[in-house]
Structure formats: C-alpha cells, structure tokens
Amino acid sequence: MNMTGKKALILGIANKHSIAYGIARALKEQGVELAISYAGAALAKRVHPIAEELGVEQLFECDLSKDNDIKNMISILAEEWDRIDYIVHSVAYAPISDLNLPFHHISRHGFLTAMDISVYSLIAVVREADLLLQPGSSVITLSYYGAQKVVPNYGIMGAAKAALEASVRYLAHSMGEKGVRVNAISAGPIRTLSSAAIGGVAQMQRRIEKSAPLARNIEQEDIAKTALYLLSDLASGVTGDIVFVDSGISIMAY
Ligand SMILES: NC(=O)c1ccc[n+]([C@@H]2O[C@H](COP(=O)([O-])OP(=O)(O)OC[C@H]3O[C@@H](n4cnc5c(N)ncnc54)[C@H](O)[C@@H]3O)[C@@H](O)[C@H]2O)c1
C-alpha cells in the first residue's frame, strides 16, 4: 500500500474525538496530503490547531447543507490540486429536538434536515468533485448498524443511515464506470460529539463488551485502519460495500 503523495479531502472534523480526525491522522502518517473542511465558525478554534498539527494547507469552512459553500470549496481546491484521490465524508446531523423521539413523532423539518446533511451532502460533494475524481479515486462515508436494524434512540438517524447506505450503492454504480469506488464503514459506537447526542451509548458499549465476539469496544484507530484499506489500492475491487468495524456485534442475534 503506497499512499505517499495522494490527495485527500476530509469532511467532518469537529475535534480530536471525531472519527474523521483519526482517519486524517492515519492518512497523514501514510504521506497523504490533506484538505480539511469544518462546518462553521464555531468550530474554527478547535479545528485550526488540528489542521496545524496535521500540516494541512487547505482548510475550508464549509456548511455542507449549502451548495454554494461546496462549490466554493471545490473550486478553490481545484486551483491547487489537479485531482482528489480520496474523499472522507464523516458527517451527520439531526436537530436535537427530533433525536430520541418516538419515530412517529419526528417532524418533517427534522427528517428533511437529517437527510440533507447526513445523506445528500455526500452526493453533493461527489457531484461537485466529479472532475477532480480520477480512475482509482476512492470515497468513504460513515454509517451505523441502526441503518439496518432498530436501535432504540437512533430513530431519525437510522432512517438517514439507511438512505446513506443505499446512496453508497447507487453512487458506486454511477461513479463505477469512471473507476471511482464508493464504500461505507459501519462503525460500532464510540464517544464523540455526535454520539453524545444519542441516548444510551454507554449502555450499548457495556453490552458490546459482554456480547461482541471481540469482547471490547472499537476505537478511533480501528476505524482509521479500515478507512486506509478502503481508500487505498488494497481495496481496488471493492465498491458499494458496507464494511462493519464493530467488534462483530452485528453478527449476534442477542
Ligand atoms: N460516534 C459513533 O459512535 C458513530 C458510529 C457510527 C457512525 N458514526 C458516524 O460517523 C460520522 C462522524 O461522526 P463522529 O462520531 O465522528 O462525530 P463528530 O460530531 O465528531 O462528527 C460529525 C461531524 O459532522 C459535522 N457536520 C454536522 N453538520 C454539518 C454541516 N451542515 N456541514 C458540515 N459538517 C457538518 C460536524 O461539524 C462534525 O464535524 C457521522 O456520520 C456519524 O453518524 C458515528
């Protein structure tokens, strides 16, 4: 696996607990050049030092619910880079008022917002970046088992992740002709800003320690290593797939 000199656009670093941070760090260790975007000014204070630590030259503030932000980011990037080898989409959002509601109580606004930011943003970024994506380029996003089975408290995000996983398959198909691969990692629960908004994570983690084949919770590094595999040429024949990095808990019936 030689990733030296490859160029990666990383979306979704909020702080050092972010899954995207772990992936960015692992890519940096492989000699990959990084561009990073963060959601808004409120995060600048946390993300700027991270960008410095990772030697990032291209740092963008980009609200992925805004087409103009995405267009601007890609057009500025295109002035510096002739191609993007890897895109890491590690982004999700649902209004807090709609999280943890009984599923039949979620609002239209909450549902559409979750779909827009957690799902459509992937499609929008791939569409804008299309000209910079080359045969061999690879795109990954982050999903969770709540896409496939009911996880209490995950409601609105479960529907969004199901749509995200379907979008991965359709993107893999539409980008496949060009030789661009698109996959998702379905990660087990780890403590981040996003997972803190979802109730019951500590309880899930206790259950995983007891019942998962590997009898432990996963760490940022477990996800980052699988990200390296999916982004790199080691996964040259893999696309449209959902790879579980969850200590095996998803194979268990109870
Ligand atoms: N933490 C877990 O247990 C877990 C498990 C499985 C999947 N995931 C998924 O991993 C991904 C990353 O989450 P995380 O756990 O690292 O949490 P995180 O909060 O660190 O990352 C989520 C990121 O999404 C960004 N974001 C939200 N709205 C945005 C917008 N409008 N524009 C641009 N960016 C926006 C946030 O700023 C943040 O950087 C998410 O898709 C999440 O659903 C997380």
Inside any domain, residue 250: no
In short, whether 245's Cβ falls inside 6 Å of ligand 1 is: no
Q: Is there a domain that residue 98 lies in?
A: yes
- To test the pocket of ligand 1, the residue of 45, 91, 217 to mutate (highest count of ligand atoms within 8 Å of its CB) is 91
Q: Give the tokens for residue 201.
A: 């994570």
Summarised one tens digit per residue, pLDDT across range 121-150 is 999 999 999 999 999 999 999 999 999 999
Question: Residue 124's domain is classified under what CATH number?
Answer: 3.40.50.720
Per-residue pLDDT, averaged over 111-124, amounts to 98
Cβ pair 82, 137 in contact under 8 A: no
Three-state DSSP at 218 gives: coil
* For ligand 1, mutation pick of 192, 219, 226, 244 (most atoms within 8 Å of CB): 192
User: What does pLDDT average to over the chain?
Assistant: 97
What domain range is 232 assigned to?
7-245
Instruction: Tell me the sheet residues that pair with 58.
Output: 35
Ligand 1: residue of 15, 87, 90, 123 to mutate (most ligand atoms within 8 A of CB) is 90
* Segment 164-183 mean pLDDT: 98
What total number of domains does the chain contain?
1
Task: Report which protein residue has its CA nearest ligand 1's atom 43.
Answer: 92
Tell me if 254 is assigned to some domain: no
In a domain, 186, yes or no: yes
> Residue 65 and residue 134: Cα distance in Å, rounded?
25
193 alpha carbon – ligand 1 mean position (Å): 8
Domain-located, residue 252: no
In a domain, 189, yes or no: yes
- Does residue 251 sit within a domain? no
Kindly give the number of the ligand 1 atom that is closest to the alpha carbon of 161. Answer: 43
Q: Per residue in 38-62, pLDDT tens?
A: 999 999 999 999 999 999 989 999 9
Q: What is the pLDDT of residue 254?
A: 87
Q: What are phi and psi of 28, to 5 degrees?
A: -60, -45
Does the predicted TM-score (pTM) go above 0.85? Answer: yes
Query: Which of these, 175, 148, 158, lies nearest to 239 by C-alpha position?
Result: 175
* Alpha-carbon span 180 to 172, nearest angstrom: 7
Ligand 1 within 6 A of CB of 13? yes
What pLDDT, in 10s, does the model give residues 1-26? 899 999 999 999 999 999 999 999 99
Q: What is the pLDDT of residue 200?
A: 87
Query: What is the Å distance from ligand 1's center to 208 Cα?
Result: 21
Q: Evaluate: CB of 142 within 6 angstroms of ligand 1.
A: yes
Does residue 208's CB lie within 6 angstroms of at least one atom of ligand 1? no
Distance CA 110, CA 102 (A): 13
Residue 83 has pLDDT above 90, yes or no: yes
Catalytic residues: 144, 154
| Amino acid 1: pLDDT | 81
Mean pLDDT of 184-194: 96
217-237: b (≥16 Cβ within 10 Å) or e: bbebebbbebbbbbbbeebee
